[in-house]
């Protein structure tokens, strides 16, 4: 089996993790799903050719270490420490979120035909999978009340952006990718501290409580 044949199953697995992110209500499962998505993304820069330059291997390792290990560890540590209510009802239910995600997939497939992308730049399914991942992240950020879920949505959106950059990583943008990874890492670190403070001040990580003014 050649390497390129594995790319499409990988992209479909990514789309499925997006669907799972949208229908899951438990924060613990969400963290595991975003870890799985990070692990899938770590393989994305390897395609389409099978030869492996050193800087690309470095990028894959860094992506795996940060997205599949460090982020989930930080998030689950925050989840453990704040001891929050595991179920905060979202603005948009699971079924509607899934429908919105499928709408995002349809839109990205339509957009792929409309955008003047240089032929051969994106492997098949990469563009729709990346754009659907960004949409999933946006849906999670907009429709969830749980601050931790919103961080996961932000990570999913960043995963989509990373996937867009993956085909370019062979052309020397690897250091740019690495610096973005570092930025996101710091971002998640800061968000973990922020969520801790939110939990201490409001006694919950339900962002709806920000609307109730207190003295």
Minimum distance, C-beta of residue 13 to other proteins, in the bound complex (Å): 9
CB-nearer residue toward other proteins: 8 or 32: 8
Residue 40 near residue 17, CB atoms below 8 Å = yes
Residue 133 near residue 161, CB atoms below 8 Å = no
Minimum distance, C-beta of residue 100 to other proteins, in the bound complex (Å): 11
Of 10, 61, 62, 46, the closest CA to residue 169 belongs to 46
Minimum distance, C-beta of residue 69 to other proteins, in the bound complex (Å): 27
Q: Which residues, at least 6 apart from 147, have a Cβ–Cβ distance to it below 8 Å?
A: 194, 195, 198, 205, 206, 207
CB-nearer residue toward other proteins: 5 or 213: 5
CB-nearer residue toward other proteins: 12 or 186: 12
Peptide bond into 48 cis (omega under 30): yes
Cα–Cα distance for residue pair 42/46, rounded to 1 Å: 8
Residue 94 near residue 23, CB atoms below 8 Å = yes
Minimum distance, C-beta of residue 164 to other proteins, in the bound complex (Å): 19
CB-nearer residue toward other proteins: 139 or 184: 139
> CA torsion sign, 54 to 55 to 61 to 64?
negative
CB-nearer residue toward other proteins: 3 or 99: 99
Q: Which residues bind other proteins (CB under 8 A)?
A: 5, 8-9, 12, 15-16, 19, 23, 94-95, 98-99, 101-102, 105-106, 109, 125, 128
Residue 69 near residue 102, CB atoms below 8 Å = no
Minimum distance, C-beta of residue 19 to other proteins, in the bound complex (Å): 6
CB-nearer residue toward other proteins: 89 or 183: 89
Minimum distance, C-beta of residue 109 to other proteins, in the bound complex (Å): 5
CA atoms within 13 A on the CB side of 115: 14
């Amino acid at each position: 089996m050649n390497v390129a044949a594995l790319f499409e199953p990988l992209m479909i697995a990514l789309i499925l993790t997006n669907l799972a992110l949208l229908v899951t209500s438990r924060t613990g499962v969400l963290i595991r799903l975003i870890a799985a998505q990070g692990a899938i993304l770590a393989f994305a820069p390897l395609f389409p050719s099978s030869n492996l330059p050193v800087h690309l291997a470095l990028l894959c390792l860094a992506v795996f270490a940060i997205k599949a290990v460090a982020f989930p560890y930080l998030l689950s540590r925050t989840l453990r420490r704040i001891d929050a209510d595991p179920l905060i009802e979202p603005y948009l239910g699971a079924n509607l979120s899934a429908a919105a995600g499928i709408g995002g997939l349809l839109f990205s497939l339509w957009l792929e035909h409309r955008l003047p992308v240089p032929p051969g730049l994106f492997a098949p399914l990469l563009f729709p999978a990346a754009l659907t991942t960004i949409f999933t992240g946006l849906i999670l950020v907009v429709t969830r009340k749980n601050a931790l879920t919103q961080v996961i949505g932000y990570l999913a959106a960043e995963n989509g952006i990373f996937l867009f950059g993956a085909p370019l990583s062979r052309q020397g943008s690897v250091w740019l990718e690495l610096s973005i990874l570092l930025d996101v890492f710091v971002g998640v670190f800061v968000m973990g501290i922020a969520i801790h403070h939110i939990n201490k001040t409001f006694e919950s990580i339900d962002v709806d409580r920000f609307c109730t003014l207190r003295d």
